[in-house]
Structure formats: structure tokens, C-alpha cells
Amino acid sequence: MRVGITYDLRSDYLALGYSEEETAEFDAEATIIAVCDALSALGHEPARIGGIRKLTKALAGGERWDAVFNICEGLKGVSREAQVPALLEAYDIPYVFSDPLTLSLTLDKALCKRVVRDAGIPTADFAVIESIADVAKVDLPFPLFLKPVAEGSGKGIGAKSKVDDAGTLKSVAVELLARFAQPVLVETFLPGREFTIGITGTGAGATVLGVSEIHPNQNFIGHGYGYENKETWEDKMEIRLADDGAARAAGALALDAWRVLRCRDGGRVDVRCDAQGAPHFIEVNPLAGIRPGYSDLCFIADFLGLSYTQLIGKFLDSFLLRHPGLSSALPRRMAGE
């Protein structure tokens, strides 16, 4: 099977003048090489494509693939993660991971929490600040936790994210509104344990791959798994496999949310506990990072003794269950051939 790979390469955007934080969600060259190697080891023919503009040019030129392994995050707009899958659907090309609806919904953390809450899955009480005037409307008990409503990789989360009074709430909200030009999500702060749950599969076939827990040390910045903590995690925390009762409860909640949100093939769900130890949904990442030796999903696989190729194989197994006819597909290099 000839498998195209769509991705945004971080170095390309850095070369264009974007900052380290602006490009935090994009992929390293090491990730693309590892994906290509894994696909080859699984008997497929990988073909590097790149971002949506390169994909558009290739499609317009008549190029086709049996399937696409999509890890493209996109750059502009609240539906940026949905752009590549939507284009692939227009050309009837199947792809690995979630569809445009799920990717658009889950990128907006507030809309996602509303769907999860409606399904009866616990999530922290929240409000959304769209303008400075909305700050006065927030009616939640302190402390609160603030972050941009539609960012990933911990962008916008740092030492100031946890606020304890109305004055600080306003100042942090004003800063985030100006910095990210998008609404701010305000949540009741959850002081308990923080878990990351890796999930593979789709629908009833989805399963918890494993649960990791974040153990901050004295260098941890703020009170959340934010950008600086994620970028240089080695001196700020330990990430350990967790398998006690609380971790299993977090995994069960994460799996429920994964199915409610119709996520596919593989990804990650973040869960945090309240003061009583009850798990609450934080967010889901259906396009989770898969950089070897760096991304949470890869850490979980490593803890379980799974090779990188085996992890990619789990994603493809789920994909092929959705597209059984592709198992014996012959390469289609160009339209009409």
C-alpha cells in the first residue's frame, strides 16, 4: 500500500520567521523519518507530502495514494486541523486518524467540554471570555485556570495560568486575548493528580493503551502541563506509567470521552483529578504528537515495551478495520494509471 504522509515541519516555519512557541505543534524531521521507517517496516511504501499547500499542488497535478497518514496540524484558523482531512475526503482518499468534524470540535476546548459534559462525563466547570467585558460575567469560585480556547502543545499555559482573585483573572485574560487573538477558557482549578491516557482504536474497538502520570519537581513552571514544561520537560518533571485505581478510573473516563467524540485510530486524552481524587476530562488530542523519545504517546509505548513500529502498526490496524479493502491495495501513483 502506498501511503502518503501529510505533516507540518517545524523547521520550515521557523525559517519563515515564526517563533518557537508558534511552531510548537509542528513536527520535527526525526518524526517524519521515524514514521517513514515504521511504514516501510510494516510493508508499505511511504511517500512524503508535507503540508496542505503541497498536498493541494500534488492533488492538482494528479498524484494519488492508496491512503494518507495524516499528522498535519495546520497554521491558520480554528478548523486548521480539519483542512487536510476535508481535502482528502473531497478526493475520496482514505486517511489515518480523525475526521474534520472531530478535529474541529476537539480543537475548541470549550465546545468539546460542552459535548463531553452533555454525555455525562465529568469535566471542570468553566466559562469562556471572548472580550474584556466577559471577565465580569465569570461566576466561578477561585482558584481558576486560564488558557487559550484553541491551542495545543501547552501554548498559553504558564506560571500565570492559575489565578486566585478577580484582579489577576482580568489581567491574565486581557494578556491572553491580545496574545492569541482568540477566546480564553476559564476553568475551576483541579488540584489533584494529572494523567495522560494513550488510546488506540475506534469506537467500540478503542482501548486504553496505557496511562502516564506527571510528577512535577522544583523546576516545574506554574500548575499545569504547559508549553515550557513540555518543551524542556527533563529538568521539570518525571513522567511515569501509572496503573493504580485512580489511573484506571482516569483511563475509563478517557475512553468514554474518546468514543463520545468519535475519535479514530489513536491519540491522547488528558485527565486531572479534583481535591477528592475524582477524575475529570481536560482535553483530547486526536492528532497527538508521535515524536520518538519526546511525545507522551511514545513514552507510554516505551513504558509498555512497544517499539515505535508496533505503535504505528496499532494505528494502521484500526485504520484498516475501517477500510478492509485496502489491505491488498496496489499502489496508485497517478490518476488514470
User: Tell me, which fold does domain 2-105 have in CATH?
Assistant: Rossmann fold (3.40.50)
pTM above 0.85? yes
Residue 76: name the closest of 94, 53, 99, 106 by CA.
53
Is domain 194-321 annotated with CATH 3.20.20.220? no
Q: Which amino acid is at 176?
A: L
pLDDT at 221: 64
Which set of grid coordinates corresponds to residue 138? 465569570
Question: For position 328, what pLDDT does the model report?
Answer: 56
125-188 CATH fold: Dna Ligase; domain 1 (3.30.1490)
- 185-223 burial code (b ≥16 CB/10 A, e <16): bbbbbbebbbbbbbbbbbeeebebbbbbbbebeeebbbb
DSSP strands (E only) in 189-327: 194-200, 207-216, 237-241, 266-273, 279-285
Q: According to the model, what pLDDT value does residue 216 have?
A: 80
Same fold, 125-188 and 194-321: no
Domains of the chain by residue range? 2-105, 125-188, 194-321
Say what the pLDDT of residue 219 is.
73
For 167-175, the CB contacts below 8 A with 24+ separation are: 169/135, 169/138, 169/142, 169/144, 170/132, 170/135, 172/146, 173/129, 173/132, 173/135, 173/146, 174/132, 174/135
Evaluate whether 6 touches 73 at the Cβ level (below 8 Å). no
- Side-chain-facing half-sphere of 75: CA atoms under 13 Å: 16
Check residue 334 and give its pLDDT: 34
Instruction: Report the pLDDT value the prediction gives residue 329, as an integer from 0 to 100.
Output: 52
Q: Collect the ranges in the chain with pLDDT lower than 50.
A: 330-337
Question: What CA–CA distance (Å, rounded) separates 162 from 116?
Answer: 23
In angstroms, rounded to a whole number, what is the distance separating the alpha carbons of residues 276 and 256?
21
